Structure 1
């Protein structure tokens, strides 16, 4: 198992960290997460464990896509994916710029929600992406119906560009620059 690829200490919620997904070792956990009704926008609700293994093996082997398991206080609690939108997901669907990186994130379903947790996860994921100096802008394409994530995106500095038709959904294309992210999360990153 690979080690931590990024970590961040949240002043209120503690330690968040990311490590590469182990497609085989993490399959049962990821299957529970991506098939949960709360993860409907992840579009894997009908997947079996074998399909989850196959998907994360495909991502691990892809030269322009990778996935990380997120830990909160050492316990698996979220999933993050990073991709190059010139080669994955948004190919030809928007005006790609040098330094763009695509992102997906999923918080694990829970019966005991923690106030501010999703925002802390998103802040951690963006902090990871912007730690790479070549990244100039993060691009996301959540389903237009996913109003909860639109609000989170706005809170950390995303600007809505507008709807875009993708093969599996109509997405609300949004971008976030390093400067807008830092301005929106200044207190959380200190």
Structure 2
């Protein structure tokens, strides 16, 4: 995890709908990498990752996005409607809630200072502005201190701990005002 800084502001971050046919092999490499263990897919073969992504693509309540930094594929984002996916019965979703999962690819070379911060900031902004969310909802594992710190830097507020399949999670939300007041959001100005 990198702190926000001047290098982070200089990175061009874009998102586009994930094309499973084009990017399945890349997603397999990212999702099965040991650094992606929190996604619980390290055991899947290419067909298994493709089946997972095809399932997301076929579900009207979810979407996968490919993120690029300076034109290079660098991260995966999943957005979902928490009233229908993962959180029914656990979270009383409000109109405008959009759930989000983010995976920054394992670095192919030396880490880029500010990369994770820039990606996180732009993904939260994308969900709020481009997708029209009122609140971004996340549910990281309570034991994932790195993600908890990054979420806090982006303005996420923990609502409570919840039990989800395979984990105890920190149900958290972020509004436009939360992002704007956060350390990552202040770098947008």
Q: TM-score, normalised by structure 1?
A: 0.90
**Residues 119-151 of structure 1, C-alpha deviation per residue, up to 9 Å, x if partnerless?**
111111111111147411111001111110100
Which residue is 1:85 aligned to? 82
Distance in 1, matches of 2:112 and 2:93, equals 36
Distance in 2, matches of 1:119 and 1:11, equals 7
Distance in 1, matches of 2:131 and 2:31, equals 31
Distance in 1, matches of 2:186 and 2:178, equals 13
Distance in 2, matches of 1:95 and 1:11, equals 35
Tell me by how many angstroms 1:35 deviates. Answer: 0.5
Which residue is 2:148 aligned to? 150
Does the Cα contact within 8 Å between 2:79 and 2:99 map onto a contact in 1? yes
Which residue is 1:15 aligned to? 12
SS of residue matched to 2:21: coil
Kindly tell me the number of residue pairs found equivalent between the two proteins: 181
- Which structure's residues are more often strand, by fraction? 1
Which structure would you say has the larger RCO, counting Cα contacts within 8 Å and 6 or more residues apart?
2
> Where does structure 2 lack aligned partners over 5 or more consecutive residues?
1-6
Does the Cα contact within 8 Å between 1:13 and 1:117 map onto a contact in 2? no
Which residue is 2:54 aligned to? 57
Specify which of 56, 72, 82 is matched with residue 75 of structure 1. Answer: 72
Cα root mean square deviation, aligned: 1.5
After TM superposition, the structure 1 = structure 2 runs for residues 118-129 of structure 1, keeping only pairs within 5 Å, are: 118-129=116-127
Distance in 1, matches of 2:27 and 2:80, equals 19
After TM superposition, the structure 1 = structure 2 runs for residues 1-190 of structure 1, keeping only pairs within 5 Å, are: 12-110=9-107, 111-132=109-130, 134-184=132-182, 185-190=184-189
Which residue is 2:4 aligned to? none
- Which structure's residues are more often helix, by fraction? 2
Which residue is 1:6 aligned to? none
SS of residue matched to 2:67: strand
Does the Cα contact within 8 Å between 2:8 and 2:113 map onto a contact in 1? no
Distance in 1, matches of 2:41 and 2:93, equals 27
